[in-house]
Every structure is written in structure tokens, then in C-alpha cells.
Amino acid sequence: MTSEGWGTPPVEPISQHYIVCGGNALAHRLIVELVEHYEVPVVVLVPDRTRDHAPRIEQLPGVAAVVEYSSVTEEALRAVRVETARGLALVDGSDQENIHTALSAQGRNPGIRIVLRMFNQRLGENIEKLLKNGAALSGSATAAPALAAAALSRPNAVQVGDRFLHIAFDEDIDSGRICVVADHIDRQDLSRIRLLPDQETDSASFVRLAGEFGDGGPIRPGGARPDPEPEPDPAETGGVAALQALPGEPVVRIAWLRRLRWRLLDTLRFFTSARLRLVLITALAAVLLAFGLLWYLNRDFGWSLYVSLLDLAGAAQPDQPGGAAGGTGTGGTWQRVAQVVITFCGITFAPVATAIMVEVLGSGRRGQPRNPGAGTRDHVIVVGLGNVGTRVATQLHGLGVPVVGLERDPQARGISALRALGIPVVVGDGPLEDQLRRARLKHSRALVAVSGDDATNLEAALEARAGKPEVRVVVRIFDDNFAGHLYATLDNAASRSVSYLAAPAFAAALMGREVLGTLSVFRHVLLIAELRAEEGGGLVGMNRHDIEDPGGVRVVAVRLAANPAVHLWNYADRTRGLAPGDRIVVAATRSGLARLNTVPVSED
């Protein structure tokens, strides 16, 4: 397949640059990461200069060139000088297209570092084995845990060794905190947040306490102590967030009786329509009443149950114990009436069961997603079943949380994926208010709006609040100012940007760093990464004082080469230099991790 570059001339001779292929939100954020934090030359290959984020990408300072090709072909790779590039990021297009481009680029430049976006993570793991120097990441998989955790109002966690690191706020911070990761938190002005602030050492509080009792301490004559300093006003200092460790991944607690009731009622809804349910419920009620009458007349539960089951199966006997053939029997006329009712109700069950089977098989052939059942309770509504929405719904379902999908496009890829898991989906292009009602908003616990359009996501959040004011809303929003207004206006709401969460991991991978995961402090991102000191590398000989940087990097654990299986949390020796083979786990901001990138990294 060939492609034309719409008259775009090739890039002027350039080397040691990085190429980003794509014009979407992830490409935009990734370019910002590379230009602002890593300060490397970037050449961008976009499919259309006038669409998506391409116009905004062209306005970014520091971008060396923007080249337009409708698809990434051999000609396009030549135009962006892939032969002399240091790295290539493929963050647009399908999995198949990205694999083809990655292999082509490797053929033209065997030493190039390649990072490609892959939705199919299993396929991505296999592709990494084919690439000499590459990594396959999923933007939706990187962001989905944070979105799912926000919907459940629980901390998002990153596993490090046998612990799970998470962010705790204010009163949730306990004595087991590892370090403070943010202060001056103000929901009305999120720009005040300070990430990884400079802190006193743990011994500082003991020194201050000793000073109050030692010679020359602030003790007045007569033993009177000075008036205690007033507590700082929370409005002035703002909230605090700390990094803490849990022994296991946070779990979602849902009462088993509630979950069983939801499963039973939803299963009934799945196998029957409204009319069939009405017939079944009416017949069952009649059978129970007739059985109760038989029991009352004969005072023998076992015999009454035995006769009722025979009558349901169509094996009714006109003669009763204690009466002559053709007589009235022990129960008289009322007993015969009860048996007739049970028999006729039993006759209706056979065609109803047949109708249920026909409906289920017919629905399967039509490929129709099932609607949420009448018993759906405490569920999360996921609006937008693209890559991100599918990941979020799947993760919530795996945690045992009831989920309902909502999608306007009947061809969306996530519909079939959710249907395969038995997750109900509301599909249609009607008014959003009606769609949310069908998704049983009144009984939901949260709504996650993760479509690709900020306005649509905000509309879903506002409609949800109008239908149920106390519902938890999580909104996918690209624009930071837009998100700031959301936090300042709505309570019990959270905003996440998928590209903002994923771009730092893609940038770090492009530089050869390993990011274990990302944690969110409102709209800010904290990266948990592991770095290894290699022989001849810059980390060898550096200690915690050299590595740590207020506002940028904090060392949270050390793995010594002599015992790599053990994580030494808050490693006390701040002066010991790293030896070859030692590993450090750091909590870092985007700029802090970028600074560490200047330390040479050995290539495997």
C-alpha cells in the first residue's frame, strides 16, 4: 500500500532525534513529555494536519518538524529520517499496523528504540520478543486501574515486591506512611499542589522534642512553658497526600447476600422477557397457593408435596387416600380444585420453557446485548465502550463489582467484549437521560464517562447528577482547565486524563526506563519506577542525597545486589553509594524521572 505525503517535503538532515507517529491525545501528551521534560528533538508524523490534535501539535515549541502522511509507509519513514533516529513511538493506528511499522523501522535502523501502543497485551508481549530494542504498552491498560479505583472511591495501587503502594489523603494517612508525596492540596485551586515537597528527616521531630526539655530549651522560669503555637488553618496549608503500602491489593467489599440476589434476579431477567416473567410468576403463585391449601386440608407436608409434584408433571390421580374410587377423598372438593390448578399450571410450564429456549437462542443468533436486569444494584455504569471503557468495565467485573455498559454506537468493539463476559449493555442513540434510566442509574453506585469526547463525558456526568445527585462520577477529560472547573463545582467527583496517565510511561519506555505504574494525585501523576545500577553507569556510586530531588524524585526502597529479593523500604543509610547490581525504587514526577534519564542506562 502506498501513500502520498500531500506535498510535505522530507525532514532536513537530522540525527539522534525521536519520532512520534500519531495525531491523537496520547501523541500530543507524549510529545510534550519529550520536549519539555527530556529536552530531545522530536519529529512528528501525523495522518492529517487539520484533524484531531495535529493543529495543536504543530504549535508546540521545540518540535523539530511535523510531516503529514495518511499512513506510515516506507516513504513516510524515509521522510522522517528513521535511519538516523534514536527512538520511534507508534501511538496511533491498529495493532496490526503498528507491528508492521515497527518491524519495517527495525529493518532500516537495527539500533532504534521502538515503543508501540498495543491494545492486545498478550500479542504485545510476543512482539517484544521480535524487537531487538522495543516495548509494547497499552495506554488503556495503563489508565484503566486509576479510573476503576476512582469509581470505587478506593486507592489505586501499584505492586512493588510483596506490597501495594497507594496514595492516602489527610485522615486516611497512618503511621506506616513511606513519604509525603503532596501538600498544599486545595480542591478549589489544584495549581497550588506541591508534589514531593522537601521534608525534614524523621529525626528532626525528636531533636525538636528534646530541645523543649534540654538546657536552654523554651522552658520559662517556674516550670511554665510557653503557650503552644496555634494549629495551622487547614484552609491556609491545604491537605496532604502520602505514599503508603498495603500488604495486599485493596479489595471491594460487597455483601454476599446482595451479590447473590443480584445474580439470581439478573439471571431471570436474562432468560426471560417481561411477558414470560409475568406468566411464570402468576403460575408459580397459583401453585404455591394450591400447595398450601393441600397442606392445610391434609396436615401432611410430605404427602402434599408428593401429590403437587405429580400433578405438575401431569400425573394427577382422581382418587385420594382414605376415599373410595371416585369419592371425594380426604380433602373433598377444595382438594380437587387445588389439584386441578396445579395440573393446569404444570401444563403451562412446558411451553413457557420452550419459549425461553427459543428466545435465548434467537437472541444469541442476533448478537443482541442483554439489558440490565431488574435486580441490578450497586453497579457502576461505564459510558463509552472504546478501548478505555472496555478495560475499565472488564477490571471492575473482575473485582466482582456489577457493571452496566452504555454505548451509542452499535458497532463499538467493546459491546461484544462485554457481552462475552455476561455484562449487560444499553445500546442506542436516544436521549442520554433515557439511556441512563435504562441503565438503572437510580440504583447505581458510580458512573464512569470515558468516551473520546470531553463534552460528551461532561454531559453524561451532569445527566447522572440530575438523575441521582449523590452518585459518584468519574470523567475522562483531556483539558486541565476544564477538569479544574469540574473539581471546583462538583462534589464526589473525579477527573482523569488517559493520555496524561499513559504518556509518562510511554516516554520513560522510549528512554529505556521501567515504570512499574502510575498513581494519581487529583490531576497530577506520580510515577513508580525501578532503576538498576549497571557497571559503568551513572547510578553506580550515587547515594540517596545525590538521587533525591525535592519536587522531583524520592527513593522509597532499595534492593541490594547481595539480596535482590528483599525490598528495604525507606533505606536508612543515605550516604551509601549504589554498587553494580543494586536497584532502587523511586517515586518521581515526570520531570524528576526525566532528570534521572541523564544517568546512562545500559542496554540489555
Do 362 and 396 reside in the same domain of the chain? no
Pick the last residue of a domain from 496, 521, 552: 496
Share of the chain above pLDDT 70, in %: 79
Q: Are residues 332 and 362 in the same domain?
A: yes
Task: Say whether 585 sits in a helix, a strand or coil.
Answer: strand
For the domain that residue 38 is a member of, what is the CATH number? Answer: 3.40.50.720
Give 356-393 pLDDT, tens digit per residue. Answer: 666 555 554 444 556 676 667 889 999 999 999 999 99
Q: pTM of the prediction? A: 0.69
Separation CA 538–CA 561 (nearest Å): 17
3-state secondary structure at position 186: coil
Are 394 and 419 in a shared domain?
A: yes
pLDDT of residue 111: 92
pLDDT of residue 184: 84
Same domain, 411 and 343: no
CA distance 178 to 433: 45
DSSP 316-347: --S--TTS-TTS-TTTHHHHHHHHHHHHHHHH
> Does residue 243 sit within a domain?
no
Q: CATH no. for residue 557?
A: 3.30.70.1450
pLDDT digits (tens, 9 = 90+) for 43-55: 999 999 999 899 9
469 has a pLDDT exceeding 70: yes
From 292-301, 368-377, 410-419, 445-454, the region with the lowest mean pLDDT = 368-377
Single out the residue in 105, 137, 169 at which a domain terminates.
137
- Tell me what pLDDT residue 487 has: 72
Contact 415, 369 (CB under 8 A): yes
pLDDT in the model for residue 264: 64
Instruction: Supply the mean pLDDT for the chain.
Output: 80
DSSP 91: -
Looking at the structure, tell me whether residues 23 and 129 fall in a common domain.
yes
pLDDT confidence of residue 238 = 64
- What is residue 262's predicted lDDT score, i.e. its pLDDT? 60
Query: What confidence tier does 99 reach under pLDDT thresholds 50, 70, 90?
Result: very high
50 with 108, same domain: the answer is yes
Q: Is the pLDDT of residue 544 over 70?
A: yes
Same domain, 292 and 316: yes
Residue 38 has pLDDT above 60, yes or no: yes
Does 547 share its domain with 486? no
Domain termination site, one of 91, 122, 137: 137
Average pLDDT of the segment spanning 534-557:
87
Residues 527 and 575 in one domain: yes
In a shared domain, residues 477 and 400: yes
Structural domain span for residue 118: 18-137
Residue 202 predicted with pLDDT over 70: no
Q: Quick count: other Cβ atoms within 10 Å of Cβ 572?
A: 10
Q: pLDDT band at 339, cuts 50/70/90?
A: confident
Look-up of cell digits 446485548:
369
What is the per-residue pLDDT for 58?
93
Q: What is the mean pLDDT of residues 119-138?
A: 89
Cα distance between residue 84 and residue 16, in whole Å: 6
| Ramachandran sector of residue 338 (left: φ over 0; alpha: ψ -120 to 50; beta: rest) | alpha
Q: Which residue has the cell 442509574?
A: 441
Cβ count near 418 (within 10 Å): 25
Is 50 exceeded by the pLDDT of residue 398?
yes
The reported pLDDT for the residue numbered 317 is 63
Q: Tell me: the pLDDT tens digits for 208-221?
A: 444 444 444 444 44
Residue 200 forms part of a structural domain:
no
Determine which of 187-191, 244-248, 493-497 has the lowest per-residue pLDDT on average: 187-191
Report, in this order, helix, strand and coil percent for the chain, each rounded to 5.
40, 20, 40
Residue 509 pLDDT greater than 50, yes or no: yes
Are 489 and 398 found together in one domain? yes
Shared domain for 478 and 529, answered yes or no, is no
Give the dihedral sign, CA 118/119/123/124: positive
Residue 411: per-residue pLDDT = 86
Contacts of 452 (CB under 8 A, 6+ apart): 384, 386
253: exposed, middle or buried (C-beta count within 10 Å: 0-12, 13-18, 19+)? exposed
Residue range 23-41: mean pLDDT, rounded:
92
Largest CA distance in the chain: 113
Q: Distances from the Cα of 596 to the Cαs of 130, 507, 517, 519, in angstroms?
A: 28, 13, 17, 19
pLDDT at 413 > cutoff 50: yes
| Dist. CA 132–CA 202, nearest whole Å | 45
Q: Is 463 inside a domain boundary?
A: yes
**Does residue 549 lie within any of the structural domains?**
yes
Check residue 266 and give its pLDDT: 59
Quick one: pLDDT at residue 63? 93
Q: Give every CB contact of residue 224 below 8 A, 6+ residues apart in sequence.
A: none
* Cβ contact 24:5 at 8 Å: no
Render 107-138 in DSSP notation, one character per residue.
Answer: HH-TT-EEEEE-S-HHHHHHHHHH-TTEEEE-
Alpha-carbon gap, residue 555 to 548, rounded angstroms: 6
Look at residue 523 and tell me whether its pLDDT is greater than 70. Answer: yes
- Residue 599's pLDDT is 59
Instruction: List Cβ neighbours of 23 (8 Å cut-off, separation of 6 or more).
Output: 44, 46, 47, 48, 51, 52, 53, 54, 57, 92
In this prediction, residue 545 carries a pLDDT of 87
What is the predicted pLDDT for the residue at 365?
42
Count how many domains the chain has: 4
Average pLDDT over residues 153-163: 84
Q: What is the mean pLDDT of residues 404-409?
A: 92
